[in-house]
Structure 1
Amino acid sequence: MNAIDPAIHIAAANIRLDGVSKSYGSVSIIPKLDVEFRAGEFTVVLGPSGCGKSTLMQMIAGLERVSGGKIVIGDREVQDLEPRERGCAMVFQNYALYPHMTVFDNIAYSLKIAGLTKGERRVRVDVVAKMLGLTDYLDRKPGQLSGGQRQRVAIGRAIVREPAVLLFDEPLSNLDAQLRHDTRIELADLHKRIGATTVFVTHDQVEAMTLADRILILNKGEVEQYDTPKAIYHRPASIFVARFIGSPPMNILPVTGDGSVLRLSDGQPVADCDLKGKFQLGIRPEDVLFDTAGNASAVKAHVRYREDLGSHSILAADLSGTTVRITTPFGSQAPDRNVLLLTCPLLKLHLFDAVTGKAIPGAFAATTKVMK
C-alpha cells in the first residue's frame, strides 16, 4: 500500500441518481433514472450505441446538465456544481493528452493548477507512475508512446488527483485486442489497490463481465437490469439482457403453453409447464446437450453451419424454424451428423413474456422434467 492509496480509499463516495432525466428539446435520451452506485465498487454501465450510457456519465461528471432530478455524490447534491467541484476525475476514449507536454507534465497538470509545489507534484506523480508502470517514460511526449501507454497516462492524470469518483468513458475501445486484455487486468488491479468508486461505460460485454462488481444495463435510457455479472448471466431479467450478454448469445425460441407443456411452433414439446399462452423460451448455447441415449422425445434439429475453433465447436442449427447455436464443452467436438437430437436440463431454461420480454421467475420450479 503506497501513499496515494489510503487517501483514495477514504475519499470513495457513493453516487445516487434520483429521478435524473435528460432530453434535447422533445427528444428524450434518459426518461427518468433512479440508481445508486455504491462507494468503492467498480460499476460498469453497459448497453448498445445510443442507449444513453455516455450521456449518463457526462451528467455525473458535470459535462452535461440534467433536465430533471438530482445527482448526489457522497452527501452533496452536485447537479448544479461545475465539474471541478464534484470530486470526480474522468478518463476519455481519445486520451485527451497534451501533445507538447511530457508524460510527467500531463499527469501533474491538474496538481499544478491546484497550486501544489513542484516537490509535492514530483512525489505524487512518482507514486502514480510506479503504480502504472510509467516511471521510465516520464520524460517522453505522448507521440512517443504506444496506445496502451497513452491510456495509462490518461488514467494516471485522473488518479493523481486522489478523486472520490473515477469515471471511464469507453477507455479501451481504441486499443487492439491484446492491449484491451492487458489493460483490463491492469484496471482491475488498480481498482483493488486504490478502492475509488469507479463508473466505467462500455458497449463491450467482455469488459463488463470481467471488470465489474455490478453491471447496469441500459436500453433506450432505461434500466433493464442492475446486478452482479453472475446474476445477469444466469438470471437475465429480460430478453434484451439475455441476448446482449453471452457469446454466442442466448437462444430464444417462441413457444406456446397449453397448461401442461410448452411446445415449439412445429408442435414438439420442450418442457412441462402449467402456464397457458404464448411465451419466449431461452436456452444458453452451452446448456444445450446432444442426446446420445436415443430418447424418442428429444427435439430434432438440422445443422446449418459448423465453426471448429480447435478447443471447442459452435454449431448453428435449425430448430422448429429458428436458428439456435450450440456450444460444445472445451476439449470436445460435436457429432458429425446433419440431424441432431437435443436435450437440455430444465433448470437451465428461461421463460419470458412474449409481449414485454420480461423474465417469468419460477416458471419451471414445480417441474423436474428435462427438455425433450
Structure 2
Amino acid sequence: MRMAQASRAAGISLAGLTKSYDGTVVIPELSAEMAGGEFTVILGPSGCGKSTLLNMIAGLEPVSGGTIRFGEREVQDLEPKHRGCAMVFQNYALYPHMSVFRNIAYSLKVAGLSEVEQSERVGRVAKMLGLTDLLDRKPSQLSGGQRQRVAIGRAIVREPSVLLFDEPLSNLDAQLRHDMRIELAELHRRIGATTVFVTHDQVEAMTLADRILVLNKGRIEQFDTPREIYHRPASEFVARFIGAPPMNILSVTGNGTGLRVPDGPLLVPSSRRGDFRLGIRPEDVTLGARLPDGIPVTLVHREDLGSHNVVTVRLDGGAELRVTLPFGSDLDESRHLFIVLPRHRLHLFEPGSGRAIRNAFEDIGARKEEHV
C-alpha cells in the first residue's frame, strides 16, 4: 500500500546553486531538475561535493548562491523542518535510550500528533519495514541492518514529499548492503517520494537510480539513466568511474587513415587527425588465438574471479588493455593471441576536456563532430 506522500511528491529544481567556504568554491554554479517521484542518485568520488549538495537540499548547509525549489516552493532560505523533507544519515543517529517505537514516533510526538495517530503511523511503517516484532527493543539490541531500517522508518513516518539519503549503507557488510538495496528499491516503489541518494558506490547507483547525477569537483559530468551513463558516457571521467573493471582508455593519434597507439599498431580506421583518447569496455573486447583480422597482443596477467576472468594484455608499443571473459572461456595461452575492437563499441574523447565525441565511428569519412 502506497503512503500518502506518493500523491504529492515534489520535484526538486536546483538553479545556479553555488557553495563556497571562506572564498574557496566547493560547488560552482550547478543546475539540475529532479522529477517528482524520481529516485536520483548523486554519485562521485570522495571530496567531489555530493554530501555538501545534499546538505544544501536538506537545509543543513546554507547556499552561497542560487535557488532550490520543492515543487513550486522556493526553500533555500527555509529551516530544515519547514522544507517538508526527511533525511537518513550514514551513522543511523538513533536515540539509544528510546525503544524502536519511540525512535520512529519521536518526530510525530514533537509535531503534536495524538498517541493514537502515532501508533497507527508507526504500525504502518513498522509493517512495511519488517520491524513489527522489534518495536520494544533498544537500538543496542538490533543488528546494523535493523538499525538502518529504524532510521528509514523515522524518516518516512513523517510522510515527506522529499526523502534524502546520505550514504546510508556504508556501515553495512556486503551481504547486508545487497539486501538493503533491494529493500530500498521496494520502499521507493511503495511510497513514491522524490528520493535523492548520495553514494560513492557505483553498484548502488546503477541498481537503485532512475537517473544518476555524476559529480566531479562540484560539477555535473553527466545526469542520465544508468543505461545511458554506462553505454554512452559523456566524458572520460564518467567512463573510468563507472564499470568494474573500468573502461580501457588509450592515447591514440589520427593521421587521416586510422587511429593508432604511439609506436604501436593501427586500432581502427578513421579519417580524423590529431590526438584523442580511445575507450572500450573490457567486456566488449574480443580476445582469441584464431582472429585473422585481429591485433596481436601479449598476455600479461590473468585474474580468475569465479564468475568470470579478467585478462590483461599488452599491445606492441606497451599500451595495456583489460579484457573480461566469461567463466569457462577456452583461452590457449600458449598460442599467439589477438584482439578485435568492435567499431560500434568504441568511444572517443577529447584529450584536453575529456568530453565525449558522439558518433565518432559511425562514418569513416565523417568530418562533423558532435560534442557533448
How does the TM-score come out when normalised to structure 2? Answer: 0.95
Letter in 1 for 2:78: L
Amino acid at match of 2:301: Y
CA distance in 1, matches of 2:335, 2:29: 50
Partner of 2:20: 23
The unaligned stretches of length 5 or more in structure 1 are none
Per-residue CA shift, 1:143-189, capped at 9, x if unaligned?
00000000000000000000000000000000000000000000000
Amino acid in structure 2 at the alignment position of 1:322: A
Q: CA deviation digits over 1:97-140, x for unaligned, max 9? A: 00000000000000000000001000000000000000000000
Matched AA of 2:229: I
Question: What is the CA-CA distance between 1:329 and the residue it aligns to?
Answer: 2.4
Are 1:36 and 2:33 an aligned pair?
A: yes
Name the SS for the 2:155 alignment partner. helix
Query: What is the aligned partner in structure 1 of residue 173 from structure 2?
Result: 176
Picking from 189, 203, 206, the partner of 1:206 is 203
- Cα deviation for residue 301 of structure 1 reads 1.9
Match of residue 75 from structure 1? 72
Q: Does residue 93 of the first structure (1) align with residue 93 of the second (2)?
A: no
Q: Is 1:190 aligned to 2:196, yes or no?
A: no
Q: How many pairs were matched up?
A: 364
Shift of 1:345: 1.1
Alpha-carbon contact 1:111-1:121 (below 8 Å) kept? yes
Which is worse superposed, 233-242 or 317-326?
Answer: 317-326
Pairwise CA distance, 1:267: 3.4
Equivalent pair of 1:93/1:173 in contact (CA under 8 Å): yes
Hey, what does 1:215 align to over in structure 2? 212
Listed one character per residue, the Cα deviations across residues 289-340 of structure 1 (whole Å, up to 9, x for unaligned) are 0244341x42222222111123221112223322311100244254324752
Q: Does 1:253 align with 2:250?
A: yes
Q: Distance in 1 between matches of 2:182 and 2:122?
A: 22
The structure 2 residue matched to 1:282, chosen from 271, 274, 279, is 279
Deviation at 1:361, TM superposition (A): 0.4
CA deviation digits over 1:255-311, x for unaligned, max 9?
Answer: 11111211111231111111110000001000010244341x422222221111232
User: Is the 1:11–1:163 Cα contact (8 Å) retained in structure 2?
Assistant: no
Q: Does the 8 Å contact 1:57/1:169 carry over to 2? A: yes
Deviates more, 1:196-205 or 1:359-368: 359-368
Measure, in 1, the Cα distance between the counterparts of 2:196 and 2:330.
40
Check the 8 A contact 1:89/1:166 in 2, yes or no: yes
Q: Which residue of 2 aligns with 1:56?
A: 53
Match of 2:369 in 1: none
The residue number in structure 2 matching 1:310 is 306
> Is the 1:313–1:333 contact (alpha carbons within 8 Å) kept by the matching residues of 2?
no
Which stretch of structure 1 is more off in the superposition, 7-16 or 229-238? 7-16
Write the mapping of 1:323-334 to structure 2, written as runs, cut at 5 A. 323-334=320-331
Mapped partners of 1:334, 1:313: distance in 2: 11
Moved over 3 A (4+): 291-294
Identity in percent: 65
The question of 1:228 aligning with 2:243 is answered no
Q: Which amino acid aligns with 2:294?
A: A
Deviates more, 1:181-190 or 1:265-274: 265-274
Aligned pair partner of 2:101 in 87, 101, 104: 104
Match of 2:353 in 1: 356
Distance (whole Å) between structure 2 residues aligned to residue 168 and residue 294 of structure 1: 49
Residues 302, 338 of structure 1: 8 Å contact kept: no
Task: State whether residues 104 and 122 of structure 2, in contact with CA within 8 Å, keep that contact through their aligned partners in structure 1.
Answer: yes
Tell me how far apart the structure 1 counterparts of residues 22 and 247 of structure 2 sit (CA, whole Å): 37
1:139 aligns with 2:109: no
CA distance in 1, matches of 2:306, 2:241: 25
Q: Does 1:300 align with 2:296?
A: yes
Code of the residue aligned with 1:51 in structure 2: it is C
Query: Quick one: structure 1 residues 7 and 223, their matched pair in 2 at CA, closer, same or farther if it must change by over 3 Å?
Result: same
Q: Secondary structure at the match of 2:357?
A: coil
Unaligned runs of 5+ in 2: 366-372
Cα pair 2:43 2:215 within 8 Å, conserved:
yes
Distance 1:178 1:323 in 2: 33
Give the whole-Å Cα distance in 1 for the aligned partners of 2:20 and 2:336. Answer: 52
Structure 2 counterpart SS, 1:290: strand
TM-score of the aligned structures, taking structure 1 as reference length = 0.95
Distance in 2 (CA, whole Å) between partners of 1:311 and 1:52 is 35
The whole-number CA distance in structure 2 between the counterparts of 1:323 and 1:292 is 18
Corresponding position of 1:342: 339
Q: Secondary structure at the match of 1:328?
A: strand
- Residue in 1 aligned with 2:370? none
Deviation larger for 298-307 or 30-39: 298-307
Structure 2 CA distance for aligned equivalents of residues 44 and 275 of structure 1: 36
Secondary structure at 1:186 match in 2: helix
